[in-house]
Amino acid sequence: MRIEPFSLERWMTTWETEVQYDLAESGIQPISVNELGRLTGEQDRIASLLDEPLLYSEATGTIELRNLIAGLYSNTGPENVLVTTGAIEANFLLFNNLLVQGDEVVVVDPCYQQLASVPKALGCEVKHWTLRADNEFRYDLDELQQLVSPRTRMIVVNSPHNPTGSILSQDEMNRVYEIAESVGAWVMSDEAYRWLTLPGQPESAKPARELGESGLSVSTLSKPFGLPGLRLGWLVGPEDVVRQCWWFRDYVSLSPGYLNDRLAQIVLRNRESLMDRTRQIASGNLELVEQWIREREGLIDWVRPRGGLLGLLSYRMDVPSSELADSLARDASVMLAPGSAFGNEHHLRIGFGANPEKFREGLEVAGQYIERVASERGVR
Ligand SMILES: Cc1ncc(COP(=O)(O)O)c(C=O)c1O
């Protein structure tokens, strides 16, 4: 398989070890294993893990972990769950097992690049279902209806959405499912940002898995729980799809890490205490961004995210986003991801999950830098 470079990952790895303020990060501020113990009260269990031999772990994920994950979905048992190396592996396995060359796939656009690039590399015809700034990045269901055809094999959605913070309401998700069913397609739903409801906003739709056997849900501990380093995600779907993905994974990563699987059990047993921390950080930082934007009216704006941890800032300067993002990182030591990595020029993607103190400082530094560029290059 030949695949195009993952633009955002290339850009992130160029700068993430260099800068002081990473406002491009896509998850909540990560926690340590000790902090996980303190937040959950499971320090003794964590200490006992250090004495366990590091065996190959059960390839599908332990039954304990799969039971915990199955409990997050209605009508789902452990046989419907495969534990994976992050959501990224779950997505990769589903695409590789359910799509073949020549299939048509409708993918939300902009998107986490993997969702479009892997189907494209498999030889599928990728049709873009575009969320537009002038429609407040809303999912337009009539447009989806027009995009699908009898050749459509899969509709790929992501809600809450990376990079816009858009969400699918329950009615909208039901309609996506109906449209998919009408042409015999799968709904592949990347729910990496599940549970990340924002103050004053409705909940994102329930998982695609709960809509029926054509619904496939993917999720992760990376974004909502602050544990990207665990590399622990999962896919949930019909048993035969899970088995197919498992057999494919024998050739890729074989099984989840032994400790990662056990730590994930601790996380999911204590989901709510970890989510309290997440919501507190996200809502506080979101207020800071809104204030920061108000102070720069006419220069910076955004469509307020309705869920998740990300949003797209638009700026009124004739400066390409890659140039602005590079110079911000190099000269001001602040990372804001270039909108061009998502096909949204004159935008920067911000993540509001970072350590609040650092986030406030980083915003201040970025604001001063962007104002300086505006005074030199002019405002449109
Ligand atoms: C929408 C989306 N899906 C999947 C992933 C991959 O996440 P993980 O760390 O679980 O592999 C990301 C990471 O940024 C993402 O934004």
Render pLDDT for 103-140 as a digit per residue (tens, 0 to 9): 999 999 999 999 999 999 999 999 999 999 999 999 99
The pTM assigned to this predicted structure is 0.97
Distance 117 CA to ligand 1 centre (A): 14
Within the chain, which residue ranges are assigned CATH 3.90.1150.10?
A: 7-32+273-377
Instruction: Measure the CA dihedral 229/231/232/233, to 10°.
Output: 120
The whole-number pLDDT of residue 373 equals: 97
% of the chain surpassing 90 pLDDT = 99
Q: In the prediction, which pLDDT does 359 show?
A: 98
pLDDT in tens, 279-323: 999 999 999 999 999 999 999 999 999 999 999 999 999 999 999
**Beta-strand relationship, 334-335 and 21-22:** parallel
**Statement: 7-32+273-377 belongs to CATH 3.90.1150.10:** yes
Instruction: Kindly give, in sequence order, each residue whose CB lies less than 8 Å from that of residue 321, ignoring residues fewer than 6 positions away.
Output: 338, 339, 340, 344, 345, 346, 347, 348
The CA distance from 111 to 128, in Å, is: 10
Across residues 212-218, what is the average pLDDT? 98
Q: CA 96, CA 163: separation in Å to the nearest integer? A: 24
Closest by CA to 12, choosing from 132, 160, 130, 112, is 112
- Which residue among 220, 230, 232, 342 has the greatest number of ligand 1 atoms within 8 angstroms of its CB, and so is best to mutate? 220
Question: What is 33-270's CATH number, 3.20.20.390, 3.40.640.10, 2.30.40.10, 3.20.20.150?
Answer: 3.40.640.10
Is 207 near ligand 1, meaning CB less than 6 Å away? Answer: no
The segment(s) of the chain belonging to CATH 3.40.640.10 are: 33-270
The phi-psi region of residue 314 (left if phi > 0; otherwise alpha if psi is between -120 and 50; otherwise beta) is beta
The CB of 228 under 6 Å from ligand 1? The reply is yes
Q: Is 163 in the pocket of ligand 1 (CB under 6 A)?
A: no
